[in-house]
């Protein structure tokens, strides 16, 4: 007696028959929620008891998460042409094929990714992932599968044309489900002896494929019934609730991200920084020229000349540079802006606030005596010294 087996295709869509959320919106490329949403989808797939899934570019790019899922064994992964490790240590990423009973028919399932998608996936180097040509992998596995399964299914993460080419090059696949940037087919498409079906991208469709298989394992008939997951699809209250919770979590993550960005920007704008005399010069040319003529503008060179190797430079540098040990001030001779010498901001304070508001910073003797002190006070006389540094 002939048996009927129905495959619900598109692994994203496998759960979607009962989901009724707009998965088009749901699968997000926004970095801040991508991981959370992928995680949700995979958990939903686990609950639905998906029988087989093969990782594509997107899944590989979420490598850490994929690794966890592979390890947990909650979703049956199949990948016939991906390996980990090198040389002697090289081993398949996961099952190279799976055997499944659907409607009394024994299915053998292989999964392949194309070279282009593999190359574009963002996988960390330490994953040591390697790729085998799809045709080679298929040739290796088909003889074994033909003895173990009645119907061989290929889950293809290779685009339509390249999948077709592969099926002609390596005959023996009975059914190919193409999930790579695929639109939804109206009916099955034959490639040689192989029934192919594409069931639409982004989980917006449920790809449903019915097969009538005779007792010898021969497919008598194949029919595609791909269905858009629109308002006509019944809602499962549990799934709906989980989907809503996941949506709320996404919103929360987005809000959190926005806030963090805002704070970072505020911190960047509001932070105290020394800008250097060249910045001040843009608006205060005459003060700059006068300052240039004072010993302050050469204080670093003076120090350098005087440091005879025996001296502890750290003990000296503080009064010969600008903003020493101050937030946004001197760090080392190579930082930008260059804060060598006793520049404008050593007396007037860090310029960030002033440049923003246009308000000035007055200062008095106390500023001078942070440096002109102790053995360096020499014959300090504020009135006398003041006359030598004021700019007019």
Q: Choose which of 28, 35, 272, 279 interacts with ligand HEC (CB under 6 A).
A: 279
Rounded to the nearest whole angstrom, what is the least distance from the CB of residue 379 to ligand HEC in the complex?
Answer: 7
Task: Check residue 351 for interaction with ligand HEC (CB under 6 A).
Answer: yes
Between 196 and 343, CB nearer to ligand HEC: 343
Task: Check residue 271 for interaction with ligand HEC (CB under 6 A).
Answer: no
Q: How many helices (H) and strands (E) does the chain have?
A: 16, 13
Rounded to the nearest whole angstrom, what is the least distance from the CB of residue 314 to ligand HEC in the complex?
Answer: 9
Q: Choose which of 241, 255, 261, 302 interacts with ligand HEC (CB under 6 A).
A: 302
Total residues at the site for ligand HEC (CB under 6 A)? 54
* Residue 93 CA: distances (Å) to CA of 52, 80, 83, 156: 15, 8, 5, 16
The distance of Cα 64 from the centroid of its chain, to the nearest Å, equals 11
Phi, psi of 364 (to 5 degrees): -130, -160
Name the token pair of 319: 């009064």
* Residue 236 CA: distances (Å) to CA of 10, 15, 206, 240, 289: 19, 11, 15, 6, 77
| Orientation of helix 63-72 relative to helix 31-48, angle to 10° | 20
Rounded to the nearest whole angstrom, what is the least distance from the CB of residue 282 to ligand HEC in the complex?
Answer: 5
Task: Check residue 283 for interaction with ligand HEC (CB under 6 A).
Answer: yes
Give dist(CA 23, CA 15) in Å, integer.
11
Give dist(CA 287, CA 360) in Å, integer.
14
Rounded to the nearest whole angstrom, what is the least distance from the CB of residue 339 to ligand HEC in the complex?
Answer: 11
The rounded radius of gyration (Å) of the Cα atoms in the chain is 35
* Residue 145 CA: distances (Å) to CA of 11, 26, 89, 197: 22, 36, 25, 21
Of 21-29, 74-82, 216-224, 339-347, the window that binds ligand HEC (rule: CB under 6 A) is 339-347
**Number of Cβ atoms within 10 Å of the Cβ of 49:** 10
Q: Choose which of 90, 139, 168, 282 interacts with ligand HEC (CB under 6 A).
A: 282
Site for ligand HEC in 140-199 (CB under 6 A): none
Between 155 and 321, CB nearer to ligand HEC: 321
Task: Check residue 288 for interaction with ligand HEC (CB under 6 A).
Answer: yes
**What would the x/- binding string for ligand HEC be over residues 218 to 237, using CB under 6 A?**
--------------------
Phi, psi of 53 (to 5 degrees): -145, 145
Can you tell me which residue has the tokens 């269905």?
A: 227
Rounded to the nearest whole angstrom, what is the least distance from the CB of residue 87 to ligand HEC in the complex?
Answer: 60
Nearest to 61 by CA among 10, 134, 119, 13: 119
Residue 108's H or E segment, with its range, is: strand 105-113
Task: Check residue 245 for interaction with ligand HEC (CB under 6 A).
Answer: no
Task: Check residue 214 for interaction with ligand HEC (CB under 6 A).
Answer: no
Task: Check residue 372 for interaction with ligand HEC (CB under 6 A).
Answer: yes
Task: Check residue 285 for interaction with ligand HEC (CB under 6 A).
Answer: no
Rounded to the nearest whole angstrom, what is the least distance from the CB of residue 63 to ligand HEC in the complex?
Answer: 47
Task: Check residue 306 for interaction with ligand HEC (CB under 6 A).
Answer: yes
With H, G, I as helix, E, B as strand and everything else as coil, classify residue 83: strand
Q: Hey, which residues does 353 pair with through a beta bridge?
A: none
**Which residue number places its CB atom closest to ligand HEC?**
360
The distance of Cα 138 from the centroid of its chain, to the nearest Å, equals 32
Rounded to the nearest whole angstrom, what is the least distance from the CB of residue 328 to ligand HEC in the complex?
Answer: 11
Task: Check residue 280 for interaction with ligand HEC (CB under 6 A).
Answer: yes
Name the token pair of 50: 């998906």
Q: Which parts of this chain interact with ligand HEC (CB under 6 A)?
A: 275, 277, 279-280, 282-284, 287-288, 291, 295-296, 298-299, 302-303, 306-307, 311, 315-316, 318-320, 342-348, 351, 354-355, 358, 360-363, 367-368, 370-373, 376, 378, 385-386, 388-392
């Amino acid at each position: 007696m002939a048996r009927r087996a129905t495959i619900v295709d598109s692994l994203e869509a496998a759960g979607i028959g009962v989901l009724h959320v707009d998965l088009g919106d749901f699968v997000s490329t926004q970095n801040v929620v991508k991981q959370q949403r992928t995680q949700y989808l995979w958990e939903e797939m686990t609950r639905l008891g998906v029988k087989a899934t093969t990782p594509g570019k997107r899944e590989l790019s979420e490598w850490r998460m994929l690794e966890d899922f592979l390890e947990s064994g909650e979703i049956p992964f199949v990948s016939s042409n991906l390996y980990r490790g090198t040389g002697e240590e090289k081993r398949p990423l996961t099952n190279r094929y799976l055997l499944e009973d659907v409607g009394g028919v024994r299915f053998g399932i292989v999964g392949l990714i194309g070279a282009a998608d593999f190359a574009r996936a963002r996988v960390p180097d330490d994953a040591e992932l390697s790729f085998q040509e799809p045709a080679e992998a298929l040739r290796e596995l088909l003889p074994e599968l033909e003895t173990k399964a009645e119907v061989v299914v290929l889950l293809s993460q290779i685009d339509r044309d390249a999948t077709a080419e592969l099926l002609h090059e390596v005959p023996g696949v009975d059914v190919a489900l193409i999930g790579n940037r695929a639109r939804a087919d109206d009916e099955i498409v034959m490639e040689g002896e192989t029934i192919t079906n594409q069931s639409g991208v982004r989980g917006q469709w449920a790809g449903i494929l019915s097969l009538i298989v005779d007792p010898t394992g021969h497919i008598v008939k194949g029919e595609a019934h791909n269905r858009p997951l629109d308002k006509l699809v019944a809602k499962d209250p549990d799934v709906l609730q989980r989907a809503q919770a996941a949506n709320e979590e996404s919103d929360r993550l987005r809000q959190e991200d926005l806030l963090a960005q805002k704070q970072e920007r505020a911190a960047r704008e509001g932070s105290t920084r020394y800008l250097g005399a060249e910045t001040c010069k843009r608006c205060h040319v005459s003060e700059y020229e006068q300052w240039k003529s004072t010993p302050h503008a050469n204080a670093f060179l003076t120090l350098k000349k005087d440091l005879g190797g025996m001296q502890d430079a750290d003990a000296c540098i503080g009064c010969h540079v600008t903003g020493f040990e101050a937030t946004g001030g001197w760090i080392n001779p190579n930082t930008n802006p260059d804060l060598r010498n006793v520049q404008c901001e050593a007396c007037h304070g860090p310029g960030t606030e002033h440049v923003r508001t246009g308000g000035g910073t007055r200062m008095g003797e106390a500023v001078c005596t942070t440096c002109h002190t102790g053995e360096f006070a020499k014959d300090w006389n504020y009135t006398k010294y003041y006359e030598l540094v004021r700019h007019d």
